[in-house]
Amino acid sequence: MNTATGNLEDDHVHILRLIDVMEFITLNKISDVNHLEIIVDIIRNFADGLHHAKEENLFFPFLATKGFSPQEGPVAIMLNEHVQGRNFVKGISDNIILYKNGNKSASVEIYRNMNGYSDLLRNHIAKENNILFRMADNVLSESEHNQLLYRFGEFEKVHYSSSGPKDYIKMIENLVTFYEIQDQASQ
Ligand SMILES: [Fe+2]
Ligand SMILES: [Fe+2]
- Average pLDDT per 10 consecutive residues for the chain, totaling 187 residues: 95 98 97 97 96 98 96 96 98 98 97 98 98 98 98 93 79 96 67
- 92: CA distance to ligand 2 center in Å? 20
Q: How far apart are CA 170 and CA 96, in angstroms?
A: 23
pLDDT (0 to 100) of residue 89: 98
- 51: CA distance to ligand 2 center in Å? 6
- 106: CA distance to ligand 1 center in Å? 28
- 5: CA distance to ligand 2 center in Å? 9
- 12: CA distance to ligand 2 center in Å? 6
pLDDT (0 to 100) of residue 169: 94
pLDDT (0 to 100) of residue 164: 64
What are the DSSP calls for the chain, one per residue?
A: ---HHHHHHHHHHHHHHHHHHHHHHHHTT---HHHHHHHHHHIIIIIIIIIIHHIIIIIHHHHHTTT--SSSSHHHHHHHHHHHHHHHHHHHHHHHHHHHTT-TTHHHHHHHHHHHHHHHHHHHHHHIIIIIHHHHHHH--HHHHHHHHHHHHHHHHHHHHHH----HHHHHHHHHHHTT---GGG-
Ion ligand 2: residues, CB < 5 A: 128
pLDDT (0 to 100) of residue 186: 47
pLDDT (0 to 100) of residue 101: 97
Query: Domains in the chain, please, with CATH?
Result: 4-186 (1.20.120.520)
pLDDT (0 to 100) of residue 184: 66
- 170: CA distance to ligand 1 center in Å? 22
- 47: CA distance to ligand 1 center in Å? 9
- 98: CA distance to ligand 2 center in Å? 30
pLDDT (0 to 100) of residue 166: 77
pLDDT (0 to 100) of residue 187: 44
What is the value of pTM for the model shown?
A: 0.95
Burial class (CB in 10 A: 0-12, 13-18, 19+), 169: middle
- 88: CA distance to ligand 2 center in Å? 16
Total residues belonging to the chain: 187
- 3: CA distance to ligand 2 center in Å? 14
pLDDT (0 to 100) of residue 111: 98
